[in-house]
Chains A and B, each alone.
Chain A
Amino acid sequence: MYGQETDPDYPTKLAEFEARIARGEKIEPGDWMPERYRKQLVRMISQHAHSEVVGMLPEGAWITRAPNLRRKQVLLAKVQDEAGHGQYLYHAAETLGATREEMLQALLTGQAKYSSIFNYPTVTWSDMGAIGWLVDGAAIMNQTMLAQCSYGPYSRAMVRICAEEGFHKKQGQEMIIQYAQGTPEQKAMAQDSINRFWWPTLMMFGPHDSASTNSDELTRWGIKTKSNDQLRQEFVNELVPLLHALGLEVPDPDLRYDEESGNWISGEINWNEFWQVVKGNGPMNAARLQARQEAHDNGRWVREALAAYAERDV
């Protein structure tokens, strides 16, 4: 089922597999697929699941401090959705033979990555708006692409997740729009959130195409249909005019509009910061993993009790 390159029939099977993808067919659990395809998907899907789970932390920290009851309910529902997305995605990865326990271990030991954006702190209430609008907005661009991907379970999970993420983005955008037009303190708070989240959001799309090691294979096998730089450019083009219309600044002195291409051209991303955060040296990497580890440790007796009770029931 998972093809090895040492198998004499590998080239024939690979050709059939790639032809299926070229015809736009979905690959389903149990179908023949190259072991590399399976590995890449498990890496991506579990990384995505971990991002949802770790992503609960920066926003979860503000549930208790939401400034009115409506925002509190919306935020609680949003963070709950993220747990739900994590669950779908772990299940999608399980269809490729990965287990929840293995994936969690990989997260806790730092072997598996999650989106670098969640290694930044949330220091004011309007960060909830910036995360919804910028971070979820960026995630939707990537996820809309992945909803077209060649692996059936991942593609279907993305369709469901994108529908919910659409609401997440809208509630964040609504907050920033409201605060940009609110009291001077609210406007300053919104601007500060945009200042802090702008660059880390651009980094979410990953390294430049020229430096992205996984991209070729992912494109050939229909997992990615757009490049990192392409998606990043679409995001910048969408956000810049909207932020300007609100009287908010984009914290990029080199940002310019290119008449010819119709693109907003960003200044250079601080790739040193990006790689530092990816390697675990971001402002909140240690705190995020510690929170996950504590939840895991504090929940051990609960999981043991569930297992013991299940045995007893049989």
Chain B
Amino acid sequence: MNAHHQSALAQKLLFLADDELILAHRNSEWTGHGPILEEDIAFTNIALDEMGHAATWHRLRQELTGEEVDTAVFFRDPAAYRNVQLVELPNSDWAFSMLRQYLFDVYELVHLAQLAASSYRPLAEAAAKIRIEEIYHLRHTAAWVTRLGLGTAESNQRMQAALDTHWPYAHQLFVEMPEDAVLAEMGTAVSPTSLLDEWQQITTAHLTQANLIIPTNHTPPTTDRADHTDHLTSLLAEMQSVARQYPTAVW
């Protein structure tokens, strides 16, 4: 693997890790505040899985760059984070978080199926392993989409509002970054753009069955992973607060 290829791969692992970590952070904010105790268990478990996946991607990246996982997580500035904006938006109601997790789960399953065929073995193996957990996440969130979409007028309305908010942001997952193009050419990872059709087919069918309408407007416009909302700054300020206050301490 030449240096150019290797640095593209390291960056791709950052895309994967940052999405998982920031989503796990948002999900973990629900812990202890869920609508039913059973979801304090289930949704926390999903957060824990996503956090574990972030750690997995970071460890693969560390093999390439030598940067420690905790350094990458706790001592990297917002401008260097490469998660999509979808995952950094602050939680509002349960519909908002559940629908976001659903849209992300479908993307992950479609994506991981492709990554499991990567010519870079560590990536392929990790993707195959993570995919098994993601199947359960999708089963859980897809069931919630159905229940809330078809539950009451209020739950349907809240889900529709969540979908209207998330839909344009979710499209950022499929924007090709320069590193994606390099990796696609080398056969290391498919370009995310090639996953969009399948994601749209799956989500559209399921959401429509849940009596939800696929939005047609695209506001805000889709940007790439280098762009963030100001929510990421406050999220990271909180996440990194203890680690950065005592930079020489081992916790």
Contact = CB atoms under 8 A, between A and B. Distances in A.
Most buried by B among A72, A186, A303, A312: A72
A84 B41 contact: yes
A79 B31 contact: yes
B238 A68 contact: no
B140 to A, nearest CB: 14
B37 A53 contact: yes
B215 interface: no
B32 A57 contact: yes
A76 B151 contact: no
Interface string B228-251: 000000000011011100101111
Interface string A72-87: 1100110110011011
Interface residues of A, number: 44
A291 B155 contact: no
Contact of A301 (B45, B74, B154, B243): B154
Contacts of B4: none
A178 B250 contact: yes
A240 B33 CA distance: 36
B31 A80 contact: yes
A131 interface: no
Interface string A289-301: 0010011001111
B207 to A, nearest CB: 16
B55 interface: yes
Interface stretch (B46-54, B129-137, B171-179): B46-54
Nearest to B147: A309
Interface in B28-43: 28-29, 31-38, 40-41
Contacts of B34: 295, 299
A80 B154 CA distance: 29
B246 A298 contact: no
A295 B33 contact: yes
Interface string B45-81: 1011001101100100000000001100110000000
B25 interface: yes
Nearest to B158: A301
Contacts of A123: none
Contact of B94 (A76, A80, A291, A299): A299
B70 A309 contact: no
B148 interface: yes
Q: Interface of chain B, helix or strand or loop or mixed? A: helix
B155 A301 contact: yes
B40 A305 contact: no
Contact of A69 (B32, B41, B51): B51
Contact of B243 (A67, A86, A294): A67
A56 B32 contact: yes
B231 to A, nearest CB: 13
Interface of B: 25, 28-29, 31-38, 40-41, 44-45, 47-48, 51-52, 54-55, 58, 69-70, 73-74, 93-94, 146-148, 150-152, 154-155, 158, 238-239, 241-243, 246, 248-251
27 contacts: A53-B37, A56-B40, A64-B238, A65-B238, A65-B239, A67-B74, A68-B73, A68-B243, A73-B48, A73-B52, A73-B55, A76-B28, A76-B47, A83-B41, A87-B37, A125-B242, A183-B248, A298-B94, A301-B158, A304-B152, A305-B151, A305-B154, A306-B36, A306-B147, A308-B151, A309-B148, A312-B150
Interface of A: 53, 56-57, 60, 63-69, 71-73, 76-77, 79-80, 83-84, 86-87, 90, 125, 178, 182-183, 185-186, 291, 294-295, 298-306, 308-309, 312
Given A73-B48, A90-B37, 8 more contacts: A64-B239, A79-B44, A80-B41, A80-B48, A86-B40, A183-B249, A306-B147, A308-B152
